[in-house]
Structure formats: C-alpha cells, structure tokens
C-alpha cells in the first residue's frame, strides 16, 4: 500500500470510528502535519475521500466530515432498498450460491460480546456486500459498495446503541434463511422489513 492509499485508509477509519466526528474540518496543512506527509499526497487522498462521499465540501472550498440529516439517511435507503430487493430476486431466480453470505454471517456470529463498534459495523457491512455480490450482477456489485460507505457514516450515529453481535447475527440469519428458502415473496418481505427497521433506528438519532 502506497502512502496515499494508507492515508485514505487511516482517515476513513477515523471518520467511521467517530474519532473525526461529523462536521470536523479537514485541511491539507492539518493532515500533512498530523501524518507527516506531503500536501500533494494529502490533496490526492482527500479527492479520493470526496469521491467516496466520506468527505464533503462545506462553504467555499473547505472540506469536512459529512453531516447527514434525517433526510439524507432516508434518501440513502430510498436508493438502497431497490438495490437489495433486486439482488434478492436475482439470487432466488437464478438459484445463486449463498456460501459467501453464510461465511460472512459466521464471522458476524463469532464476534465476541465485547467486540467494538467498528468491528460490528465492518462485519455487518461485509455481510451485505457479499449478499449483493451473490446476485452475480457486475454492475450491481460496482454501484453498491459506495452506497455502503455512506451507510457506515449513518451507522456512526448509533455508536453506543449499536446492536450486539448476537442480536445482529440473529437478525441477519433470519434474512439469509428467508432468501435461502427460495420463496420470492417471503424473501422480499423480510428484506424490506429488515431495511425499514434499520431506517427507523437511524432516523431521529442525529
């Protein structure tokens, strides 16, 4: 990993962990001093983070960690719901393998009760990523990950109230079993309920 990619990864980690909370300013000079890297490297890293919607432009040209409103969260789910419903339909209609999703669920289920917030979020996100990949659509797999990056920003709002690993695993096991059943109506209903429940937990927590 080169210096620029390492910087992207570390700033991303700090944003998603809450070390850099929503609204935190991000300047080239500040990051260059903090991490001991050249400003052109910082500039390139920030451009990548902006492209991934993990950093936003505020007034003028200043950059900051995004501040997501309830309307932003609802809009994310407006886009996310049809994508995951489509993935569910493709998996069932084409009888696609759920082996990778089962493995991701096992990782989630094996997290200890004391697992930190970031570990739970990463395992949760990994499950949804491999579930969408299971649909076998190259374009769906290409457009979905950036959406999950923004979803992780949403989940930062729940730090301290995020479900424990056992609860998360049980909820996602129900979802995976519904899809594995091969019943499209039941699977779509479970996916819709799963995402609507997640949205209800996020809205109003800012």
pLDDT of residue 42: 93
pLDDT of residue 59: 75
- Mean pLDDT, rounded, of the chain: 90
pLDDT of residue 161: 64
Range 70-202: architecture per CATH: Up-down Bundle (1.20)
Q: Using a CB cutoff of 8 Å and minimum separation of 24, what contacts does 55-60 make?
A: 55/11, 55/15, 55/26, 58/25
Kind plus residue range of the DSSP H or E element containing 25: strand 25-26
CATH 1.20.120.530 residue ranges of the chain are: 70-202
Q: Which is it for the CA torsion 178, 139, 136, 102, positive or negative?
A: negative
pLDDT of residue 79: 94
pLDDT of residue 173: 97
pLDDT of residue 118: 77
Low pLDDT (below 50) residues in the chain: none
Q: Which fold has domain 3-64?
A: Arc Repressor Mutant, subunit A (1.10.10)
CATH 1.10.10.10 residue ranges of the chain are: 3-64
């Amino acid at each position: 990993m080169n210096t620029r990619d390492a910087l992207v990864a570390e700033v991303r980690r700090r944003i998603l962990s809450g070390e850099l909370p929503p609204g935190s300013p991000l300047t080239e000079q500040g990051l260059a001093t903090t991490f001991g890297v050249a400003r052109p490297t910082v500039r390139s890293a920030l451009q990548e983070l902006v492209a991934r919607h993990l950093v936003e432009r505020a007034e003028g040209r200043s950059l900051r960690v995004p501040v997501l409103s309830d309307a932003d969260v609802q809009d994310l789910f407006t886009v996310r719901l049809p994508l995951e419903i489509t993935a569910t339909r493709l998996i069932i209609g084409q009888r696609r393998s759920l082996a990778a999703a089962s493995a991701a669920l096992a990782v989630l289920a094996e997290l200890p009760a004391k697992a930190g917030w970031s570990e739970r979020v990463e395992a949760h996100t990994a499950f949804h990523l491999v579930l969408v990949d299971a649909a076998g659509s190259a374009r769906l797999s290409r457009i979905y990950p950036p959406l999950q990056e923004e979803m992780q920003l949403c989940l930062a709002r729940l730090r301290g109230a995020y479900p424990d690993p056992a609860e998360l695993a049980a909820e996602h096991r129900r979802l995976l079993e519904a899809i594995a059943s091969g019943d499209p109506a039941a699977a779509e209903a479970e996916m819709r309920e799963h995402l609507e429940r997640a949205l209800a937990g996020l809205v109003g927590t800012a």
